[in-house]
Amino acid sequence: MALTRWARREIVVGGVLALLAAAGAALAQPSAEQIMSRAHLATYYPGDDMRARVTMRLISRDGKERLREFVMTRRDLQEGGEQRYFIYFHRPPDVRDMTFLVWKYPGRDDDRWLYVPALKLVRRIAANDKRSSFAGSDFSYEDVSGREPDEDHHKLLKEERVGERPAYLVESIPKDAGSVDFGRKLSWIDTVTWLPLKEEYYDRRGELARVFTAEELKEVQGHWTITKRVMKNVQTGHRTEVAFGDVRYDQKLPPDLLSERALRAPPAELVR
Amino acid sequence: MRCASALVLLATVLAAPGMSRAEQRPLHGFVQAGAAYRLIPPDRCPATQRLACEEEFVLGEGRVGLELSPRGERWALSAKGELIYDGVGDEWEGELREGYLDLGFPALDLRVGRQVITWGVGDLIFINDVFPKDLVAFISGLPLEYLKKGSDAVSATGYWAGTALQLVLIPVFEADTVPEAGGRLSFHDPLADIERRRTDEPSPALENTEAGLRLSRNVLGWDLSLYAYRGFFHAPAAEVEPGPGLRFFFPRLSVYGASAQGAVLGGVLGLEAGYYDSRQDRSGLDPAVENSSVRVLLGYQREVVPDLVLSAQYFVQVMEDHAEYVRTRVAGMPERLLARHVLTLRLTWLLLHQTLRLGLFALASPNEGDFHVNPEIKYSVTDALWVAVGTNLFGGPDRTEFGQFQGNSNLYVVARYAF
């Protein structure tokens, strides 16, 4: 059946409008890659430097609790690029005064050093496996210092609220399946702060393995910060609750401060 | 004297409660109990080693440790004292393990007092780490930290543009603690019949001050260090005196060395070498003094699966003037080869959220035939309490470095409650 000229014009106009609408939506809604890259910067790179007193509670299924307490300092050398991390442990007693230094390079393995105060020994640590547990917690090294967004394929599934906050729901599939312990990850990225409000890690069989939730967000010196977070291993029932206290940004720390010298004799600003 | 310093420490601690702050308490401590049961009784015990055959326990002790560590912006004080009850010998002892003052200047860190100094990249293989060690504690199953002894020293480290230069001066000589006659450890004693023995330590004098230099820098991700040391062997040499008697002394030694450590193929590669210049026996003709030697270490460490780390080392020590050594060797003394080869393996597996550690350390010399094997299980019952159970197995020919300790092989249990 032939369409009338008028009707055809309707379709053309409608099509153009639809295209415009799609383009507008595309402008308002960034791509999955853009979302994950902004989330990466918002989570791991706010400010030029940052420090926090971190309390980690490791809680087993039956409620048995262990406490880890440390001061973590981060210094960025380039936004989105090289970083240095320094950690001074206060608790538990058998790691008290231990210091840990990481020089993080995008695209290749970190350099890591651990200082054992009882032996006055600086020990270089193998850093090939980022899945290792950080200090026995449910967080891996990669969770603490960040996974490069371009290591995964991302797909924007939809927008969905987490509690009151609107978020982008993004699915990430690792490009190299062997390098990580998850087969698929779902992230709910806050549309305002770009911080992850929730993450679900699925193992390679597709079963839900770990769930991350940001429990408290605070604005500190203009930077939105997750001050309370939980990582729960739903398969074992073990969870880790992390609180960031005394957060400070942009202290203008010289990058050289986070070096071997600080490992052996940490200056007061990296300890308290 | 050691008891006195522990008392002084205690008094300081008790007098300083006002300094306590909930956030960073400057006072910490622990209570520790340890026992090590002898698994293999020594096959023969000369008069000088009677105890080694009588005592079933290599170790049976309790310790209380206190650590005071107040700090300011640019200074820190650290004092660690222990009061030890030795249940096997029924003796009390006090010891100041560390007691030093740190001063931080813009490009200089100064540390003055009794301090542990650790150099080099070896794992229980020491080349440039010439500083005093307690072999008795190590053999007896005490935690690894007791292997290192403090030196009464001044250490100054200067920093400029990523390079560090450390100068260490040790005016008071501190010898290694080694198994000796009258103790409860058995060892190879070629002159066991001589019971009259004395030890001459280098007296505290300017010319006897030990000096060490370490220059280090990170270059393209590699930690590079150069070392130089001028002082003494810390393990005693022995010579027969008229009488007869045995005189122990510490021959003059210089060590020059280097080390490098960096990431290779997802693991860590370590290299270390050193030249031991035995200044009192450069000709190699003095049978009492160890000859000069070249020592080289190669190590590699890698995480095999998450929380499981495997490491291996190869070490070789080549004696200079071996022909002279053979020619002048006294009968009964160890017959050492031109080269001693050593292989080590370490496995560390962390489980149950890193509260359970399964460890294995094995060291063996393929050409001299001696070995040391130390499997250990360590569990943190709570954050404050850990318990470790393990064995130290020594074996090999009687005159070799570890073979002589076969009769000290033990099963140990150590528990520590820290606060």
Contact B24 A272 (CB under 8 A): yes
Q: What is the pLDDT of residue B132?
A: 97
A75 by Cβ neighbours in 10 Å (0-12 / 13-18 / 19+) ranks as buried
With respect to residue B20, please indicate whether it lies within any of the assigned structural domains: no
B183 by Cβ neighbours in 10 Å (0-12 / 13-18 / 19+) ranks as middle
Q: What is the pLDDT of residue B403?
A: 95
Q: Which residues neighbour B67 within 8 Å (Cβ) at sequence distance 6 or greater?
A: B27, B28, B29, B78, B79, B80, B81
Q: What is the pLDDT of residue B47?
A: 81
Residue B6 has pLDDT above 80, yes or no: no
Q: What is the pLDDT of residue B98?
A: 97
> What residue numbers bound the domain in which B295 lies?
26-54+101-418
Q: Please, what is the end-to-end C-alpha distance for chain A in angstroms? A: 80
With respect to residue B3, please indicate whether it lies within any of the assigned structural domains: no
Give percent of chain B with pLDDT exceeding 70. 94
DSSP state of B322: H
Please say whether the dihedral angle defined by the alpha carbons of residues A110, A116, A120 and A123, taken in this order, is positive or negative.
Answer: negative
With respect to residue B66, please indicate whether it lies within any of the assigned structural domains: no
Contact A268 B145 (CB under 8 A): no
* Own/partner long-range contacts of B233-242 (Cβ < 8 Å, ≥24 apart): B233/B278, B233/B290, B234/B130, B234/B131, B234/B132, B234/B133, B234/B174, B234/B175, B234/B176, B235/B175, B235/B176, B235/B178, B236/B175, B236/B176, B236/B178, B236/B199, B237/B288, B237/B289, B237/B290, B238/B191, B238/B288, B239/B288, B240/B191, B240/B194
In this complex, which of A111, A129, A135 lies closest to B354 when CB atoms are compared? A135
In this complex, which of B73, B262, B418 lies closest to A94 when CB atoms are compared? B418
| Predicted confidence (pLDDT) per residue in B44-83, tens digit | 788 888 888 889 999 999 999 999 999 888 999 999 999 9
Residue A66 has pLDDT above 60, yes or no: yes
Higher pLDDT, B21 or A59: A59
Give the residue from B28, B77, B110, B268 with the most A CB atoms within 10 Å of its CB, the best one to mutate.
B268
Q: What is the pLDDT of residue B20?
A: 35
Give the residue from B110, B346, B352, B383 with the most A CB atoms within 10 Å of its CB, the best one to mutate.
B383
Contact B307 A126 (CB under 8 A): no
Q: CATH number of the domain that B197 lies in?
A: 2.40.160
Question: What is the pLDDT of chain A when averaged over all its residues?
Answer: 89
Residue A196 has pLDDT above 50, yes or no: yes
Question: What is the pLDDT of chain B when averaged over all its residues?
Answer: 92
B25 to chain A: nearest residue by CA?
A90
Measured in angstroms, the CA of B23 and the nearest CA of chain A are apart by 9
Residue A231 has pLDDT above 80, yes or no: yes
Contact A268 B72 (CB under 8 A): yes
| Predicted confidence (pLDDT) per residue in B152-167, tens digit | 999 999 999 889 999 9
- Tell me the pLDDT band of A17, cut-offs 50, 70 and 90: low
Contact with chain A for residue B203, Cβ under 8 A: no
Which candidate, A131, A236, A234, places its Cα nearest to that of A176?
A131
Q: What is the pLDDT of residue B165?
A: 98
B262 to chain A: nearest residue by CA?
A124
Q: What is the pLDDT of residue B8?
A: 47
All residues of chain A having their beta carbon less than 8 Å from the beta carbon of residue B69 are: 97
| Predicted confidence (pLDDT) per residue in B362-394, tens digit | 999 999 999 999 999 999 999 999 999 999 999
Q: What is the pLDDT of residue B18?
A: 38
With respect to residue B17, please indicate whether it lies within any of the assigned structural domains: no
Q: Are B312 and B343 in contact (CB under 8 A)?
A: yes
Give the residue from B124, B125, B303 with the most A CB atoms within 10 Å of its CB, the best one to mutate.
B303
Give me Rg for the CA atoms of chain A. Answer: 22
- Tell me the pLDDT band of A15, cut-offs 50, 70 and 90: low
Higher pLDDT, A129 or B280: B280
Contact A126 B384 (CB under 8 A): no
Q: What is the pLDDT of residue A109?
A: 84
Is the omega angle on the peptide bond into residue A166 within 30 degrees of 0, that is, cis?
Answer: no
Q: What is the mean pLDDT of residues A78-97?
A: 93
Q: What is the mean pLDDT of residues A20-41?
A: 78
Domain count, chain B: 1
Q: What is the pLDDT of residue B359?
A: 98
Q: What is the pLDDT of residue B11?
A: 44
With respect to residue B5, please indicate whether it lies within any of the assigned structural domains: no
Give percent of chain A with pLDDT exceeding 90. 74
Q: What is the pLDDT of residue B48?
A: 82
Domains of chain A by start residue, with CATH: 32-270 (2.50.20.10)
With respect to residue B414, please indicate whether it lies within any of the assigned structural domains: yes
Contact B305 A120 (CB under 8 A): no
Contact with chain B for residue A62, Cβ under 8 A: no
All residues of chain B having their beta carbon less than 8 Å from the beta carbon of residue A126 are: 263, 266-268, 301-303, 309
SS3 call for B98: strand
With respect to residue B265, please indicate whether it lies within any of the assigned structural domains: yes
With respect to residue B1, please indicate whether it lies within any of the assigned structural domains: no
Give the residue from A58, A104, A122, A129 with the most B CB atoms within 10 Å of its CB, the best one to mutate.
A129
A103 to chain B: nearest residue by CA?
B221
Residue A12 has pLDDT above 70, yes or no: no
Residue A260's region, left for phi above 0, alpha for psi from -120 to 50, else beta, is alpha
CA distance B381 to A217: 34
Residue B222 has pLDDT above 70, yes or no: yes
Q: Are A26 and A35 in contact (CB under 8 A)?
A: no
Q: Are B224 and B218 in contact (CB under 8 A)?
A: yes
- Tell me the pLDDT band of A28, cut-offs 50, 70 and 90: low
Q: What is the pLDDT of residue A19?
A: 54
Contact with chain B for residue A126, Cβ under 8 A: yes
Instruction: Output the pTM of the full model.
Output: 0.90
